C-alpha cells in the first residue's frame, strides 16, 4: 500500500485521487504517535482529515492568500463553526440584516447559548461605532451582501473591530477571491459557501474558512469534534470546479455588468443594485476593494407587486428559476420566498427585501441571449 495516496506511482496524478477510506492502517505505534502528535502528515480517521479534502484546502487557501483553510460540509456549517469556535456566553456579536437568511436561524441558537446579538442594516454600516460594546467579540458581514448587493467597507469594519479587540469575519461568497481578497483588506477570517461559484456546477455542497495556521488549528478542533468534514467525492468535485473558476468568474462578471446596464434603463425595473454601476451605493468602496470587475450578482425590484415578479420569472425561457448562485447557468429567485424565507416579514421589509425583489446570479451564457430573455419576459408584465 503506498504511503502517500496522492502519489501512488511516485509521480503526481493530474487529478487528486478520491480517497474514500474512513480509517487507515498504522505501520507501527511510532507512526501512529508521529501522526497524532503532528510530527508528520498522516491520516487516522475521516472525521479528522482526508487527503482529497486536504488537497482542496490548500488550493482555496492559496486563492485567498491565507496560510491555511478548513473545508467542511456546507457554507452554513462553516459560519456556524466560526461562531462555535470563537464566541462564548456573554460575548456580543454584530451581524447585518442583509446576510444569508439562515443566519437568522443560527442566531436563535446562539442567543439560547448566551450570545448577545445586534443586527444592523448594511446600508448603515458607517454607524457601526454606535453599536460596538466592550463585550463585542465578532463582526460578521457579507460584501456584496445577500441578496441586495450592498457594499460594506471591509477596512473600516476592521478599524471598528480593533477598537475592542473583536474579530472581523467576511463572507466572500458573492465576490469570490477573483474579485476580492478580504484578508488583505483586514479580515481575520474569510468564509465561503463553496457550493456556489467555487464549485460552480450545482452538484456539490461545501463550506470553506481561510485564515492563519493558528485559526486552522482552532477550527480543525471544532470540525473534528462536531463531525463536519467534507466527503472525499464532494472534495473532488470542488477541485474540478476550481480548475475553471477564474474563467467562469470573469464571464459571470461580464454578464452581470451587461445585465445591470440593461436593467438600469428599463422602466419596469426599480431599486437595481449592482456594485459595478457608477451610481451604485458605495461605488467608490467597490472600486477600492474589488478587482477584475464586480461579480455576477445583482438584485432589483420588478414592477410593483409580487405578482409582477412572479410573472416575470415565469416568462423567462433561458434563465432558470432556482435558488443558489455562482453557477454556470444564470439563476433568479425571489428572496422572500427562498433565501429570506426564515426572516419575520417586518425584519425583511425593514432593510429592503420586498415581495417583488428579485436576485439574479449571472452564469456564463452568451450575454445577448440573457438580455433578450430578460427583455421578452419584462415585456409580458
Q: Which domains does the chain have, with CATH numbers?
A: 29-243 (3.40.640.10), 245-378 (3.90.1150.10)
Joined grid coordinates for residue 235: 472534495
Per-residue pLDDT tens digits for 266-296: 999 999 999 999 987 899 999 999 999 999 9
Q: Could you give the 3-state DSSP secondary structure of residue 191?
A: strand
pLDDT at 1: 38
Please name the residue that has the C-alpha cell 456556524: 80
Q: What is the pLDDT of residue 2?
A: 42
Number of other CB atoms surrounding residue 219 within 10 Å: 25
Task: Please state, as a whole number, how many other Cβ atoms lie within 10 Å of the Cβ of residue 268.
Answer: 16
Q: CA end-to-end span of the chain, whole Å?
A: 65
Decide if 79 contacts 103 (C-beta within 8 A).
Answer: yes
In the chain, % helix, strand, coil (3-state, to 5) comes to 40, 15, 45
Tell me the C-alpha distance between 274 and 264, whole Å: 10
Percent of the chain whose predicted confidence (pLDDT) is above 90: 90
Cis amide leading into 362 (omega within 30): no
Residue-level pLDDT at 40? 86
User: Which pTM was predicted?
Assistant: 0.95
Exposure class string for 324-349: b at 16+ Cβ within 10 A, else e? bbbbbbbbbbbbbeebbeebeeeebe
* C-alpha cell read off for 362: 449571472
Report the C-alpha gap between 278 and 66 in whole angstroms: 31
Q: Is 72 exposed, middle or buried (0-12, 13-18, 19+ CB in 10 A)?
A: buried
Taking alpha carbons only, the member of 332, 192, 182 closest to residue 256 is 332
Rg (CA), the chain: 21
Question: Bigger pLDDT: 37 or 201?
Answer: 201
pLDDT in tens, 90-130: 999 999 998 999 999 999 999 999 999 999 999 999 999 99
pLDDT digits (tens, 9 = 90+) for 41-68: 889 999 999 999 999 999 999 999 999 9
Output the nine-digit C-alpha cell for 135. Answer: 463585550
The secondary structure of residue 165, as a DSSP letter, is T
Q: What is the DSSP string of 115-150?
A: -EEEEE-GGGGGGGGGT--TTEEEEEEESS-TTT--
Amino acid at each position: 500500500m503506498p504511503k502517500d495516496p496522492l502519489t501512488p506511482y511516485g509521480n503526481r496524478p493530474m487529478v487528486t485521487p478520491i480517497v474514500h477510506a474512513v480509517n487507515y492502517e498504522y505501520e507501527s505505534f511510532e507512526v501512529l504517535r508521529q501522526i497524532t502528535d503532528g510530527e508528520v502528515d498522516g491520516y487516522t480517521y475521516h472525521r479528522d482529515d482526508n487527503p482529497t479534502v486536504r488537497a482542496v484546502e490548500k488550493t482555496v487557501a492559496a486563492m485567498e492568500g491565507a496560510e491555511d483553510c478548513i473545508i467542511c460540509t456546507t457554507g452554513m456549517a462553516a459560519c456556524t463553526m466560526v461562531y462555535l469556535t470563537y464566541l462564548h456566553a456573554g460575548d456580543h456579536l454584530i451581524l447585518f440584516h442583509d446576510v444569508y437568511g439562515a443566519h437568522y436561524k443560527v442566531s436563535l441558537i446562539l442567543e439560547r447559548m448566551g450570545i448577545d446579538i445586534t443586527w444592523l442594516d448594511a446600508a448603515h454600516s458607517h454607524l457601526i461605532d454606535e453599536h460596538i460594546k466592550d463585550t463585542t467579540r465578532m463582526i460578521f458581514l457579507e460584501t456584496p451582501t445577500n441578496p441586495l448587493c450592498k457594499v460594506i467597507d471591509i477596512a473600516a469594519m476592521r478599524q471598528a473591530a480593533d477598537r475592542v479587540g473583536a474579530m472581523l469575519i467576511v463572507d466572500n461568497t458573492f465576490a469570490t477571491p477573483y474579485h476580492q481578497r478580504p484578508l488583505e483588506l483586514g479580515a481575520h477570517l474569510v468564509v465561503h459557501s463553496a457550493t456556489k461559484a467555487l464549485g460552480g456546477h450545482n452538484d456539490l455542497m461545501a463550506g470553506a474558512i481561510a485564515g492563519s495556521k493558528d485559526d486552522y488549528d482552532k477550527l480543525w478542533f471544532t470540525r473534528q469534534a462536531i463531525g463536519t468534514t467534507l466527503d472525499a467525492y464532494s472534495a473532488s468535485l470542488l477541485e474540478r470546479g476550481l480548475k475553471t473558476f477564474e474563467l467562469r468568474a470573469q464571464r459571470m462578471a461580464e454578464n452581470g455588468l451587461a445585465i445591470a446596464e440593461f436593467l438600469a434603463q428599463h422602466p419596469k425595473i426599480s431599486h437595481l443594485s449592482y456594485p459595478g454601476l457608477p451610481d451604485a451605493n458605495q461605488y467608490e468602496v467597490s472600486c477600492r476593494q474589488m478587482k477584475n470587475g464586480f461579480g455576477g450578482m445583482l438584485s432589483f425590484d420588478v414592477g410593483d407587486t409580487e405578482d409582477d415578479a412572479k410573472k416575470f420569472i415565469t416568462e423567462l425561457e433561458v434563465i432558470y428559476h432556482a435558488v443558489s448562485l455562482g453557477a454556470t447557468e444564470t439563476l433568479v429567485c425571489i428572496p422572500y420566498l427562498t433565501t429570506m424565507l426564515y426572516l419575520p416579514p417586518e425584519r425583511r421589509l425593514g432593510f429592503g427585501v420586498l415581495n417583488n425583489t428579485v436576485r439574479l446570479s449571472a452564469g456564463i451564457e452568451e450575454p445577448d441571449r440573457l438580455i433578450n430573455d430578460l427583455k421578452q419576459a419584462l415585456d409580458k408584465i
